[in-house]
Amino acid sequence: MYALAVKFPSTDSIDRVAFHDVWKEKTADTDCYVGVAEAQDAVVGYISGYVHTTFHADRPVAWVDEIFVTEEMRNIGIGRGLMAEIARWATKRGCRLVALASRESAEFYHALGYEEDASRYYKRDLLG
Protein backbone atom coordinates (compact mmCIF):
# COMPACT_ATOMS: atom_id res chain seq x y z
CA MET A 1 0.00 0.00 0.00
CA TYR A 2 2.78 2.46 0.80
CA ALA A 3 4.17 2.14 -2.74
CA LEU A 4 0.79 3.23 -4.12
CA ALA A 5 0.12 5.92 -1.55
CA VAL A 6 3.31 7.78 -2.48
CA LYS A 7 2.00 7.98 -6.07
CA PHE A 8 -1.23 9.67 -4.95
CA PRO A 9 -1.44 13.12 -6.63
CA SER A 10 -0.82 15.41 -3.68
CA THR A 11 1.56 18.16 -2.67
CA ASP A 12 2.21 16.35 0.61
CA SER A 13 5.08 13.90 1.04
CA ILE A 14 4.49 10.62 2.85
CA ASP A 15 6.81 9.31 5.55
CA ARG A 16 6.96 5.49 5.60
CA VAL A 17 6.81 5.20 9.41
CA ALA A 18 3.95 7.69 9.66
CA PHE A 19 2.14 5.83 6.86
CA HIS A 20 2.23 2.58 8.83
CA ASP A 21 0.98 4.34 11.97
CA VAL A 22 -1.93 5.83 10.00
CA TRP A 23 -2.60 2.43 8.38
CA LYS A 24 -2.93 0.79 11.80
CA GLU A 25 -5.16 3.59 13.06
CA LYS A 26 -7.47 3.58 10.03
CA THR A 27 -7.84 -0.20 9.87
CA ALA A 28 -8.66 -0.35 13.61
CA ASP A 29 -11.27 2.43 13.43
CA THR A 30 -14.77 1.16 12.63
CA ASP A 31 -15.67 4.58 11.21
CA CYS A 32 -12.91 4.23 8.59
CA TYR A 33 -12.86 2.14 5.44
CA VAL A 34 -9.81 0.96 3.52
CA GLY A 35 -10.25 -1.21 0.46
CA VAL A 36 -7.60 -2.57 -1.86
CA ALA A 37 -7.69 -3.98 -5.37
CA GLU A 38 -5.25 -6.68 -6.35
CA ALA A 39 -4.23 -8.11 -9.71
CA GLN A 40 -1.45 -10.59 -10.46
CA ASP A 41 -0.49 -10.77 -6.76
CA ALA A 42 0.06 -7.00 -6.51
CA VAL A 43 -1.94 -4.14 -5.02
CA VAL A 44 -3.06 -2.03 -8.00
CA GLY A 45 -5.53 0.28 -6.31
CA TYR A 46 -6.94 1.43 -3.03
CA ILE A 47 -9.69 3.56 -1.55
CA SER A 48 -9.86 5.20 1.85
CA GLY A 49 -12.77 6.91 3.52
CA TYR A 50 -14.67 7.46 6.70
CA VAL A 51 -18.12 8.14 8.12
CA HIS A 52 -19.01 11.34 9.93
CA THR A 53 -22.22 13.10 10.87
CA THR A 54 -23.38 16.37 9.38
CA PHE A 55 -26.26 18.72 10.02
CA HIS A 56 -27.06 19.15 6.33
CA ALA A 57 -27.61 15.47 5.61
CA ASP A 58 -29.64 14.58 8.72
CA ARG A 59 -27.63 11.38 9.10
CA PRO A 60 -24.12 10.02 8.58
CA VAL A 61 -22.17 10.82 5.41
CA ALA A 62 -19.32 8.78 3.95
CA TRP A 63 -16.34 10.78 2.71
CA VAL A 64 -13.83 9.31 0.26
CA ASP A 65 -10.51 10.90 1.16
CA GLU A 66 -8.36 8.92 -1.28
CA ILE A 67 -8.84 6.66 -4.27
CA PHE A 68 -5.99 5.62 -6.51
CA VAL A 69 -5.49 3.06 -9.27
CA THR A 70 -2.15 2.50 -10.98
CA GLU A 71 -1.90 4.05 -14.43
CA GLU A 72 -1.63 0.71 -16.25
CA MET A 73 -4.74 -0.68 -14.50
CA ARG A 74 -7.07 2.25 -15.17
CA ASN A 75 -10.19 2.10 -17.34
CA ILE A 76 -10.87 -1.58 -16.69
CA GLY A 77 -13.32 -1.25 -13.79
CA ILE A 78 -11.05 -1.26 -10.75
CA GLY A 79 -11.94 2.26 -9.64
CA ARG A 80 -15.61 1.55 -10.27
CA GLY A 81 -15.34 -1.55 -8.08
CA LEU A 82 -13.60 0.34 -5.27
CA MET A 83 -16.28 3.05 -5.34
CA ALA A 84 -19.02 0.39 -5.31
CA GLU A 85 -17.47 -1.27 -2.26
CA ILE A 86 -17.29 1.93 -0.24
CA ALA A 87 -20.89 2.72 -1.23
CA ARG A 88 -22.00 -0.72 0.05
CA TRP A 89 -20.09 -0.16 3.29
CA ALA A 90 -21.62 3.32 3.67
CA THR A 91 -25.12 1.98 3.05
CA LYS A 92 -24.66 -0.61 5.80
CA ARG A 93 -23.52 2.21 8.10
CA GLY A 94 -26.75 4.12 7.44
CA CYS A 95 -25.14 6.88 5.38
CA ARG A 96 -27.29 9.18 3.32
CA LEU A 97 -24.60 9.86 0.72
CA VAL A 98 -21.00 9.37 -0.33
CA ALA A 99 -19.03 12.54 -1.01
CA LEU A 100 -15.52 13.42 -2.14
CA ALA A 101 -13.41 16.25 -3.51
CA SER A 102 -11.48 15.80 -6.74
CA ARG A 103 -9.61 18.04 -9.13
CA GLU A 104 -9.52 15.30 -11.73
CA SER A 105 -11.66 12.46 -13.01
CA ALA A 106 -14.98 14.33 -13.21
CA GLU A 107 -16.15 12.06 -16.05
CA PHE A 108 -15.43 8.99 -13.92
CA TYR A 109 -17.53 10.25 -11.02
CA HIS A 110 -20.35 11.47 -13.28
CA ALA A 111 -20.48 8.00 -14.90
CA LEU A 112 -20.99 6.53 -11.42
CA GLY A 113 -23.92 8.87 -10.73
CA TYR A 114 -22.09 11.47 -8.66
CA GLU A 115 -23.14 15.08 -9.04
CA GLU A 116 -20.92 18.12 -8.73
CA ASP A 117 -21.86 19.98 -5.57
CA ALA A 118 -18.91 22.22 -4.69
CA SER A 119 -16.30 23.60 -7.01
CA ARG A 120 -13.37 24.10 -4.62
CA TYR A 121 -11.48 22.20 -1.98
CA TYR A 122 -9.53 24.28 0.52
CA LYS A 123 -6.86 23.18 2.95
CA ARG A 124 -4.53 24.86 5.40
CA ASP A 125 -1.36 23.20 6.64
CA LEU A 126 -1.31 23.37 10.43
CA LEU A 127 2.14 21.83 10.79
CA GLY A 128 4.28 24.01 8.64
Distance CA 69, CA 115 (A): 21
Q: What sign does the dihedral 111-112-115-116 (CA atoms) show?
A: negative
Domain 2-111: assigned CATH number: 3.40.630.30
Lowest mean pLDDT among 9-13, 67-71, 121-125: 9-13
Edge-to-edge strand ranges of the sheet holding 60-69: 32-39, 42-53, 60-69, 97-100
pLDDT over 80 at 9, yes or no = no
Q: What pLDDT is stored for residue 122 in this prediction? A: 72
Distance CA 128, CA 123 (A): 13
Task: Report phi then psi at 68, rounded to 5.
Answer: -150, 135
Q: 87-110 pLDDT, tens per residue? A: 999 999 999 999 998 878 889 999
